């Protein structure tokens, strides 16, 4: 089940599909061993993604069209982040109420409006000090980024290149089990 979760992070976490290939036995049933492994995988996934650390964070979009503006970024859960659709190359900032340790950030585009983001950067801060920087290319349906755990007070997501409007529809941060972090 641990290996299946690692595969999940490498496939679903990079916008791909995960084909499990769990064949039924000669009775047309999933074997007890396969069923137990899938249930353990479900448990591991739920445990690691149970607490979105952003629910208690202050966050806002920062975008400059004609005028520099700040607007609230409402994070309720990963599937219902409020995005300002139609704004190009917007950035957003998340401030934690207290120093928070995390090692996973998930992003999602409003894919029904098209996959447009070509390049992004996430800068993690502890106070004014940059503690880590993550660069990425496309986001798509879901992008799960894992990295060694860091304690941060804020982070900023820069959407640096897009072929159209950049429409973020989900963002979350987690502290997942370190054994699932790629070195």
Q: Where are the domains of the chain?
A: 2-48, 53-180
Q: 93 - beta bridge partners? A: 60, 156
| SS3 letters across the chain | CHHHHHHHHHHHHHCCCCCCCCCCCCCCCCCHHHHHHHHHHHHHHHHHCCCCHHHHEEEEEEEECCCEEEEECCCCCHHHCCCCCCCCCCEEEEEEEEEEEEEEEEEEECHHHCCCEEEEEEEEEECCEEEEEEEECCCCCCEEEEEEEEEEEEEEEEEEEECCCCCEEEEEEECCCHHHCCC
For residue 144, what pLDDT band results from cuts at 50, 70 and 90?
very high
Q: pLDDT digit string (tens) for 85-138? A: 455 556 778 889 899 999 999 998 877 777 878 899 999 999 999 999 999 988
pLDDT in tens, 54-94: 887 776 555 545 444 455 555 555 555 555 545 555 677 88
pLDDT at 92: 79
Q: What is the pLDDT of residue 62?
A: 56
pLDDT digits (tens, 9 = 90+) for 157-180: 888 787 776 677 788 899 999 999
Alpha carbons 4 and 44: distance in angstroms, whole number: 10
- What is the CATH number assigned to the segment(s) 53-180? 2.60.120.260
């Amino acid at each position: 089940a641990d290996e299946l979760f690692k595969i999940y992070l490498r496939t679903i976490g990079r916008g791909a599909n995960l084909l499990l290939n769990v064949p039924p036995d000669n009775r047309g049933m999933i074997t007890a061993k396969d069923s137990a492994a899938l249930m353990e995988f479900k448990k591991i996934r739920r445990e690691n993604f149970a607490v979105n650390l952003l629910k208690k964070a202050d966050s806002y979009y920062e975008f400059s069209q004609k005028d520099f503006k700040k607007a609230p970024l409402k994070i309720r859960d990963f599937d219902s982040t409020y995005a300002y659709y139609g704004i190009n190359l917007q950035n957003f900032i998340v401030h934690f109420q207290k120093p928070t340790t995390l090692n996973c950030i998930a992003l999602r585009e409003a894919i029904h409006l098209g996959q447009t983001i070509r390049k992004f950067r996430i800068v993690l801060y502890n106070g004014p000090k940059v503690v880590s920087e993550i660069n990425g290319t496309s986001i798509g349906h879901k992008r799960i980024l894992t990295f060694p755990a860091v304690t941060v007070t804020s982070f900023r997501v820069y959407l640096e290149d897009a072929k159209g409007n950049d429409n973020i529809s989900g963002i979350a941060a987690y502290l997942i089990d370190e054994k699932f972090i790629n070195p």
